[in-house]
Structure 1
């Protein structure tokens, strides 16, 4: 029978494998820039990952940044503190841990100059706690990656597992690189976003890999050219589903970025960036990488079908 009807079922007539070299180049350039930025500048850690105090003030009337800066100056506190002033909430992040006397002075000065009805929430992280949080965050990413390797290896094969993990680590590292290059703040919500991005990335990758495995069953030969056709066909057949899923989540994350509160701003931004990277990594990174690994094997003919009676 002719294979033309099968080819017609693909909605995207595009050579994804051939185009992957441009995405590989982009990812390599951004990865090298991220490594350089991390080596020179590191990450801009928030109070969650470094010692310091975070003072969140709920106010009954709007406060300006200039007013808060005057409060800090009069209270003889660090003028370099990071201030975020809004209509109903003011956030002040100090790089040093505040003493009880400094907290009392800050509250007294703020009440007298800005809002006598203000209420305060003070979170302090010491050096040891900050180091422990950083270790636990890295451990969480490592455990998630190992679990995915085991799952994909059992369900598919080692080539699929290696390609999937490279793709998800690619997504996570590029987000980290962007935050390092742009000096954006990294806090606990950022780690949550990274783990969420890993989940979405592996989900899309598994869908494509599952289709590749199905199409391999009907491939008469498994030469490099035949495998390339299988990958292009499989990606084409899952493209609408992959883009639809990513676009839906992207709209929600972008809405949170634009309309959400300041406390989840970095989470939303990390999600938006990660979804964009994840949208192409499953298609142009993971699948071509599996093809490269599989093509190193000797070509094998498909098993002969049993004669029909």
Structure 2
């Protein structure tokens, strides 16, 4: 005997939608107050990656950087490779002086990779990133509208915006660096989230074809049935990618850690929004549409 499914996604949706709205409002407040911790991809500054032949302690590196008096910086150390992010863009004189000082005081065999982003380039990259995300959302609206209908498209985009904004909120609260890999992670999350959403929508549409909808409760049963039918597939897909993201976060290099962390946040938010936001919002919009009643022909009397 198969165990009876007792959880009702539709009846519980009101609570989850309220929680989602509260999380979104808190996120707006957090981003408004704290803002985002932009990396040099989106703010002016200098990135210096140093590969050393000898091991250097973090304390020694910080003492050296403080003595150089090059302004605010962040330091990330790894085995024989150190990454320094200066808030201000270094000029040629400062860059040459820094390399000469590091070579003489720390490691004469060190190699350097220096990237400088000025204000204009940073603003252009911010604008390009926003345009790219907007085009991605517009493409999804057009695709879902053609394949399904406008109610599915609206529900899908609201779900995707929630997933992406949840990741942005977490990065704002944790003061994590927002850079180009972060944008790539958000776009990847949008791809996985729309995949989960389309799977549920496809099952809803399929069940809708063979169901006789006479009252709103029939639509609620249809959505519940469709979510349950796709739940195992959605969970297995998310868990598979989540395991890979966690492993990358734990064992990967510093350059990929933030990408992996954004993926972890986004995968959880995407799976949640597909079930508790996208499908429930479609149900709300569909219930506002008048239900077509089938005309019954009167039986002729002999």
**TM-score bucket (shorter structure):** over 0.9
> Which residue among 216, 230, 234 is the counterpart of 1:224?
216
In the alignment, is residue 177 of structure 1 matched against residue 172 of structure 2?
no
3-state SS of the aligned residue for 1:108? Answer: helix
In the alignment, is residue 61 of structure 1 matched against residue 54 of structure 2?
yes
TM-fit CA distance, 1:9: 8.8
TM-fit CA distance, 1:10: 9.8
3-state SS of the aligned residue for 2:83? Answer: strand
Task: Give the RMSD, CA atoms, in angstroms.
Answer: 1.7
Alignment map for 1:87-126 (pairs within 5 Å): 87-126=79-118
- Note the alpha carbon deviations across 1:8-65, whole angstroms, 9 max, x for none: 9998542111222232122212211111122222111011100000000011222222
Unaligned runs of 5+ in 2: 297-302
- Distance in structure 2 (CA, Å) of the matches to 1:18 and 1:67: 60
Residues 20, 10 of structure 1: alpha-carbon distance in 2 compared, 3 angstrom cutoff: farther
3-state SS of the aligned residue for 1:97? Answer: coil
Runs of 4+ in 1 over 4 A off after TM superposition: 8-13
TM-score by length of 1: 0.92
Unaligned runs of 5+ in 1: 1-7, 305-309
In the alignment, is residue 147 of structure 1 matched against residue 154 of structure 2?
no
Tell me, yes or no, if the aligned pair for 1:14 and 1:232 is still in contact at 8 Å.
no
- Distance in structure 1 (CA, Å) of the matches to 2:100 and 2:64: 10
- Note the alpha carbon deviations across 1:192-216, whole angstroms, 9 max, x for none: 0000000000001000000000101
3-state SS of the aligned residue for 2:56? Answer: coil
**Match of residue 260 from structure 2:** 268
- Note the alpha carbon deviations across 1:237-266, whole angstroms, 9 max, x for none: 001110000000000011111111111111
TM-fit CA distance, 1:181: 1.7
- Distance in structure 1 (CA, Å) of the matches to 2:76 and 2:8: 48
Residues 48, 61 of structure 1: alpha-carbon distance in 2 compared, 3 angstrom cutoff: same
In the alignment, is residue 17 of structure 1 matched against residue 31 of structure 2?
no
TM-score by length of 2: 0.94
- Note the alpha carbon deviations across 1:263-308, whole angstroms, 9 max, x for none: 111111100000011111101110000000000111224699xxxx
Residues 187, 10 of structure 1: alpha-carbon distance in 2 compared, 3 angstrom cutoff: farther
- Distance in structure 2 (CA, Å) of the matches to 1:301 and 1:65: 74
Tell me, yes or no, if the aligned pair for 1:163 and 1:290 is still in contact at 8 Å.
yes
TM-fit CA distance, 1:66: 1.4
3-state SS of the aligned residue for 1:49? Answer: coil
